[in-house]
Amino acid sequence: MSGSRSRTGVHLVTYWRPRQSSADDIAQAFLKQLAEFRRRYGWMDRAACAEVGGDTWFPEKGEPTDAAKQVCKRCPVKAECLDFALETGDRHGVWGGLSERQRRDIQRARERQAAA
Ligand code: SF4
């Protein structure tokens, strides 16, 4: 061929071009993911600890956890928080009103129960 593509060549180039996403497609995908995120983690907006902040929930090894647990007691999403910590295996700090050791005990009990 001399400088021009055959009709078949143009067709192949078009065929193999990756699909282009439109801005609407990208926006829809983003909104879908955002909705899923809010469905799964929207409870965090109601967390009592969000009003307090600080490092209270992440004490150094051996430091007391009482202050954090007192706030957790009145937290409206305590159950969701504990489920999240147990699901994700996050072992650092106080989650769902329980210390790392307390959550580890729950995990071990569940594992023993599952193995029985
Ligand atoms: S239960 Fe969880 S979300 Fe609620 S205050 Fe305690 S750490 Fe925060």
Q: Is residue 86 in contact with ligand 1, taking CB distance under 6 Å?
A: no
Q: What atom of ligand 1 comes closest to residue 44's alpha carbon? A: 3
Cross-strand partners of 98: 95
Give the distance between the most distant pair of CA atoms in the chain. 82
pLDDT, mean of each 10-residue run, the chain (116 residues) = 45 58 88 92 93 86 92 96 90 92 94 94
CB 87 within 8 A of CB 76: no
Name every residue whose Cβ is closer than 8 Å to that of residue 57 and which is 6 or more positions away in sequence.
49, 68, 93, 94, 95
**Cα separation of 93 and 99, whole Å?**
6
What is the structure's pLDDT at 44?
Answer: 93
What is the structure's pLDDT at 14?
Answer: 56
pTM over the 0.85 mark: no
**Cα separation of 63 and 79, whole Å?**
24
What is the structure's pLDDT at 102?
Answer: 94
CB 97 within 8 A of CB 72: yes
Q: Virtual CA dihedral for 101, 107, 111, 116, nearest 10 degrees?
A: 80
Q: Where are the domains of the chain?
A: 46-115
Among 46, 71, 102, name the best residue to mutate to test ligand 1's pocket (greatest count of ligand atoms within 8 A of Cβ): 71
**Cα separation of 67 and 52, whole Å?**
11
